[in-house]
Amino acid sequence: MRTPILEVEDLTLHFGSIAAAERVTVLVYPGERVGIVGPNGAGKTTFLNLITGYLRPERGAVRFWGQEVVGLQPHQVTALGVGRSFQIPQLFLTLTVRENVLVALAIRERRGWTSFWKPLHEASRVQVADEVLLQFGLLGQADRPAGELPEGGRKLLDVAMAFALRPRLLLMDEPTSGVSAQEKFRVMDTLVAALQEAGVTSLFVEHDMEVVRRYATRVLVLHNGRILADGVPGEVLDDPEIRLAVTGRR
Protein backbone atom coordinates (compact mmCIF):
# COMPACT_ATOMS: atom_id res chain seq x y z
CA MET A 1 0.00 0.00 0.00
CA ARG A 2 1.28 3.50 -0.84
CA THR A 3 2.00 5.79 2.10
CA PRO A 4 0.42 9.25 1.86
CA ILE A 5 2.77 12.20 2.26
CA LEU A 6 -0.13 14.27 3.63
CA GLU A 7 -3.19 13.10 5.57
CA VAL A 8 -5.90 15.62 6.38
CA GLU A 9 -8.70 14.29 8.52
CA ASP A 10 -11.96 15.93 9.51
CA LEU A 11 -10.41 19.40 9.40
CA THR A 12 -12.87 22.02 10.62
CA LEU A 13 -12.66 25.77 11.23
CA HIS A 14 -15.37 28.42 11.42
CA PHE A 15 -15.05 32.20 11.39
CA GLY A 16 -18.25 33.18 13.22
CA SER A 17 -21.04 31.60 11.19
CA ILE A 18 -18.80 31.02 8.12
CA ALA A 19 -17.50 27.50 7.58
CA ALA A 20 -14.00 28.07 6.19
CA ALA A 21 -13.21 24.34 6.57
CA GLU A 22 -15.90 21.75 7.25
CA ARG A 23 -14.89 18.14 7.82
CA VAL A 24 -12.21 18.21 5.14
CA THR A 25 -10.64 14.79 4.71
CA VAL A 26 -8.06 14.08 2.01
CA LEU A 27 -4.97 11.95 1.40
CA VAL A 28 -2.19 13.18 -0.89
CA TYR A 29 0.36 10.74 -2.29
CA PRO A 30 4.00 11.36 -3.28
CA GLY A 31 4.38 12.81 -6.77
CA GLU A 32 0.87 14.23 -7.04
CA ARG A 33 0.24 17.80 -8.20
CA VAL A 34 -3.08 18.73 -6.69
CA GLY A 35 -4.91 21.78 -8.05
CA ILE A 36 -7.26 23.38 -5.52
CA VAL A 37 -10.16 25.25 -7.09
CA GLY A 38 -13.37 26.85 -5.86
CA PRO A 39 -15.24 30.16 -5.90
CA ASN A 40 -14.07 33.16 -3.89
CA GLY A 41 -14.39 32.47 -0.18
CA ALA A 42 -14.57 28.67 -0.64
CA GLY A 43 -11.78 28.09 1.90
CA LYS A 44 -8.80 27.47 -0.38
CA THR A 45 -6.31 29.75 1.39
CA THR A 46 -7.68 28.66 4.75
CA PHE A 47 -6.90 25.05 3.78
CA LEU A 48 -3.25 25.94 3.04
CA ASN A 49 -3.04 27.99 6.26
CA LEU A 50 -4.36 25.09 8.34
CA ILE A 51 -1.80 22.68 6.87
CA THR A 52 1.15 25.04 7.37
CA GLY A 53 0.46 26.18 10.95
CA TYR A 54 -0.78 29.71 10.12
CA LEU A 55 -4.22 28.75 11.44
CA ARG A 56 -5.24 26.19 14.04
CA PRO A 57 -8.33 24.07 13.39
CA GLU A 58 -11.17 23.63 15.87
CA ARG A 59 -11.10 19.96 15.08
CA GLY A 60 -9.24 17.49 12.93
CA ALA A 61 -5.74 16.27 12.15
CA VAL A 62 -3.01 17.10 9.64
CA ARG A 63 -0.19 14.57 9.31
CA PHE A 64 2.95 14.96 7.21
CA TRP A 65 4.61 11.57 6.65
CA GLY A 66 2.54 10.35 9.59
CA GLN A 67 3.60 13.12 11.96
CA GLU A 68 0.92 15.37 13.45
CA VAL A 69 1.57 19.03 12.59
CA VAL A 70 -1.49 20.69 14.17
CA GLY A 71 -0.19 22.89 16.99
CA LEU A 72 3.22 23.49 15.36
CA GLN A 73 4.35 26.98 14.35
CA PRO A 74 4.77 27.72 10.62
CA HIS A 75 8.60 27.63 10.85
CA GLN A 76 8.41 24.20 12.53
CA VAL A 77 6.19 22.89 9.74
CA THR A 78 8.67 24.30 7.19
CA ALA A 79 11.53 22.57 9.00
CA LEU A 80 9.74 19.23 8.61
CA GLY A 81 9.77 19.66 4.82
CA VAL A 82 6.55 21.50 3.96
CA GLY A 83 7.20 24.61 1.82
CA ARG A 84 4.78 27.43 1.15
CA SER A 85 4.52 30.28 -1.33
CA PHE A 86 2.02 33.11 -1.19
CA GLN A 87 -0.60 34.80 -3.35
CA ILE A 88 1.31 38.07 -2.87
CA PRO A 89 5.02 37.22 -3.19
CA GLN A 90 6.85 37.71 0.10
CA LEU A 91 10.02 39.28 -1.31
CA PHE A 92 12.62 41.78 -0.17
CA LEU A 93 12.18 44.12 -3.13
CA THR A 94 15.34 46.19 -2.66
CA LEU A 95 17.58 43.12 -2.32
CA THR A 96 18.78 41.35 -5.43
CA VAL A 97 17.10 38.22 -6.73
CA ARG A 98 20.05 36.13 -5.50
CA GLU A 99 20.03 37.80 -2.07
CA ASN A 100 16.36 36.91 -1.62
CA VAL A 101 17.21 33.23 -1.95
CA LEU A 102 20.28 33.66 0.26
CA VAL A 103 18.13 35.22 2.98
CA ALA A 104 15.70 32.28 2.81
CA LEU A 105 18.63 29.89 3.17
CA ALA A 106 20.20 31.90 5.98
CA ILE A 107 16.96 32.00 7.96
CA ARG A 108 16.70 28.24 7.68
CA GLU A 109 20.20 27.98 9.10
CA ARG A 110 18.85 30.02 12.01
CA ARG A 111 21.51 32.65 12.02
CA GLY A 112 20.54 35.75 14.01
CA TRP A 113 19.80 38.89 12.02
CA THR A 114 22.93 40.57 13.41
CA SER A 115 25.41 37.87 12.35
CA PHE A 116 23.69 37.31 9.06
CA TRP A 117 25.18 39.91 6.74
CA LYS A 118 28.77 38.86 6.50
CA PRO A 119 28.19 35.21 5.79
CA LEU A 120 25.13 35.85 3.59
CA HIS A 121 27.24 35.52 0.43
CA GLU A 122 29.16 32.47 1.62
CA ALA A 123 30.35 30.51 -1.41
CA SER A 124 28.51 27.28 -0.56
CA ARG A 125 25.26 29.14 0.03
CA VAL A 126 25.65 31.15 -3.19
CA GLN A 127 26.15 27.88 -5.05
CA VAL A 128 22.88 26.47 -3.71
CA ALA A 129 21.07 29.74 -4.49
CA ASP A 130 22.42 29.85 -8.04
CA GLU A 131 21.45 26.24 -8.71
CA VAL A 132 17.87 27.02 -7.67
CA LEU A 133 17.83 30.26 -9.70
CA LEU A 134 19.05 28.32 -12.74
CA GLN A 135 16.23 25.77 -12.30
CA PHE A 136 13.72 28.61 -12.12
CA GLY A 137 15.17 30.45 -15.15
CA LEU A 138 16.18 33.40 -12.95
CA LEU A 139 19.97 33.13 -12.92
CA GLY A 140 20.32 35.81 -15.62
CA GLN A 141 18.44 38.20 -13.29
CA ALA A 142 20.37 37.25 -10.12
CA ASP A 143 21.98 40.67 -9.61
CA ARG A 144 18.86 42.75 -10.28
CA PRO A 145 16.75 44.05 -7.39
CA ALA A 146 13.76 41.74 -6.95
CA GLY A 147 11.51 44.81 -7.28
CA GLU A 148 12.52 45.14 -10.95
CA LEU A 149 11.21 41.70 -11.91
CA PRO A 150 7.94 41.43 -13.84
CA GLU A 151 5.07 39.79 -11.94
CA GLY A 152 5.79 36.33 -13.40
CA GLY A 153 9.40 36.58 -12.25
CA ARG A 154 8.32 37.66 -8.77
CA LYS A 155 5.97 34.71 -8.45
CA LEU A 156 8.71 32.34 -9.59
CA LEU A 157 11.19 33.87 -7.15
CA ASP A 158 8.74 33.44 -4.26
CA VAL A 159 8.39 29.76 -5.14
CA ALA A 160 12.17 29.46 -5.67
CA MET A 161 12.74 30.75 -2.11
CA ALA A 162 10.47 28.06 -0.71
CA PHE A 163 12.02 25.49 -3.04
CA ALA A 164 15.58 26.36 -1.93
CA LEU A 165 14.73 24.94 1.50
CA ARG A 166 14.29 21.52 -0.16
CA PRO A 167 10.68 20.78 0.82
CA ARG A 168 9.16 17.38 0.10
CA LEU A 169 5.71 18.98 -0.12
CA LEU A 170 5.17 22.44 -1.56
CA LEU A 171 1.93 24.43 -1.15
CA MET A 172 1.44 27.35 -3.53
CA ASP A 173 -1.30 29.96 -3.28
CA GLU A 174 -2.20 31.11 -6.80
CA PRO A 175 1.24 30.83 -8.42
CA THR A 176 -0.06 32.51 -11.61
CA SER A 177 -2.32 35.24 -10.18
CA GLY A 178 -1.43 38.64 -11.61
CA VAL A 179 0.70 37.01 -14.30
CA SER A 180 -0.16 37.91 -17.91
CA ALA A 181 -1.88 35.28 -20.06
CA GLN A 182 1.20 34.78 -22.27
CA GLU A 183 3.52 34.48 -19.25
CA LYS A 184 1.28 32.05 -17.30
CA PHE A 185 2.20 28.87 -19.11
CA ARG A 186 5.91 29.73 -19.09
CA VAL A 187 5.73 30.23 -15.29
CA MET A 188 3.93 26.91 -14.83
CA ASP A 189 6.23 25.02 -17.24
CA THR A 190 9.25 26.24 -15.25
CA LEU A 191 7.64 25.47 -11.93
CA VAL A 192 6.44 22.00 -12.80
CA ALA A 193 9.79 21.04 -14.37
CA ALA A 194 11.58 22.06 -11.13
CA LEU A 195 9.08 20.11 -8.99
CA GLN A 196 9.41 17.01 -11.16
CA GLU A 197 13.18 17.11 -11.23
CA ALA A 198 13.36 17.31 -7.43
CA GLY A 199 10.48 14.86 -6.85
CA VAL A 200 8.46 17.40 -4.88
CA THR A 201 4.75 16.76 -4.26
CA SER A 202 2.61 19.88 -4.58
CA LEU A 203 -0.76 21.47 -3.91
CA PHE A 204 -1.60 24.72 -5.66
CA VAL A 205 -4.59 27.02 -5.48
CA GLU A 206 -5.59 28.18 -8.95
CA HIS A 207 -8.41 30.20 -10.50
CA ASP A 208 -7.50 29.51 -14.14
CA MET A 209 -9.14 26.22 -15.13
CA GLU A 210 -6.87 25.89 -18.19
CA VAL A 211 -3.83 25.94 -15.90
CA VAL A 212 -5.39 23.27 -13.66
CA ARG A 213 -6.28 21.09 -16.65
CA ARG A 214 -2.77 21.31 -18.05
CA TYR A 215 -0.64 20.99 -14.93
CA ALA A 216 -2.57 19.26 -12.12
CA THR A 217 -2.62 15.47 -11.86
CA ARG A 218 -5.63 15.75 -9.55
CA VAL A 219 -8.12 18.45 -8.66
CA LEU A 220 -9.81 19.19 -5.38
CA VAL A 221 -12.91 21.36 -5.54
CA LEU A 222 -13.76 23.33 -2.39
CA HIS A 223 -17.12 24.97 -1.80
CA ASN A 224 -18.28 26.54 1.47
CA GLY A 225 -15.33 24.92 3.24
CA ARG A 226 -16.25 21.43 2.04
CA ILE A 227 -14.81 19.13 -0.60
CA LEU A 228 -17.30 19.13 -3.44
CA ALA A 229 -15.26 16.94 -5.80
CA ASP A 230 -11.89 15.21 -5.93
CA GLY A 231 -10.55 13.50 -9.05
CA VAL A 232 -8.84 13.70 -12.42
CA PRO A 233 -9.00 17.29 -13.81
CA GLY A 234 -10.49 16.28 -17.18
CA GLU A 235 -13.43 14.48 -15.54
CA VAL A 236 -14.06 16.85 -12.64
CA LEU A 237 -13.83 20.06 -14.67
CA ASP A 238 -16.03 18.72 -17.47
CA ASP A 239 -18.90 18.16 -15.04
CA PRO A 240 -21.36 21.02 -15.75
CA GLU A 241 -22.60 21.21 -12.13
CA ILE A 242 -19.06 21.52 -10.83
CA ARG A 243 -18.11 24.10 -13.45
CA LEU A 244 -21.15 26.11 -12.38
CA ALA A 245 -20.22 25.86 -8.69
CA VAL A 246 -16.62 26.91 -9.35
CA THR A 247 -16.94 29.56 -12.04
CA GLY A 248 -20.58 30.59 -11.76
CA ARG A 249 -20.94 29.81 -15.51
CA ARG A 250 -22.28 26.81 -17.43
Q: Which residues bind ligand ATP (CB under 6 A)?
A: 15, 18, 20, 38, 40-46
Please check whether residue 248 is in contact with residue 39, taking contact to mean a CB–CB distance below 8 angstroms: yes
In the chain, DSSP finds a helix count (H) and a strand count (E) of: 9, 10
* Residue number, 15 or 117, with CB nearest to ligand ATP: 15
* Residue number, 184 or 223, with CB nearest to ligand ATP: 223
C-alpha radius of gyration, the chain, whole number: 18
- Tell the smallest beta-carbon distance from residue 55 to ligand ATP (Å): 8
Q: How far is residue 185's CA from residue 188's CA, in Å, rounded to a whole number? A: 5
Q: How far is residue 150's CA from residue 140's CA, in Å, rounded to a whole number? A: 14
* Residue number, 58 or 197, with CB nearest to ligand ATP: 58
Look at residues 98, 194, 197, 89 and name the one whose alpha carbon lies nearest to residue 145.
Answer: 98
Separation of CA 159 from chain center: 7
* Residue number, 217 or 224, with CB nearest to ligand ATP: 224
- Tell the smallest beta-carbon distance from residue 149 to ligand ATP (Å): 23
- Tell the smallest beta-carbon distance from residue 205 to ligand ATP (Å): 7
- Tell the smallest beta-carbon distance from residue 18 to ligand ATP (Å): 5
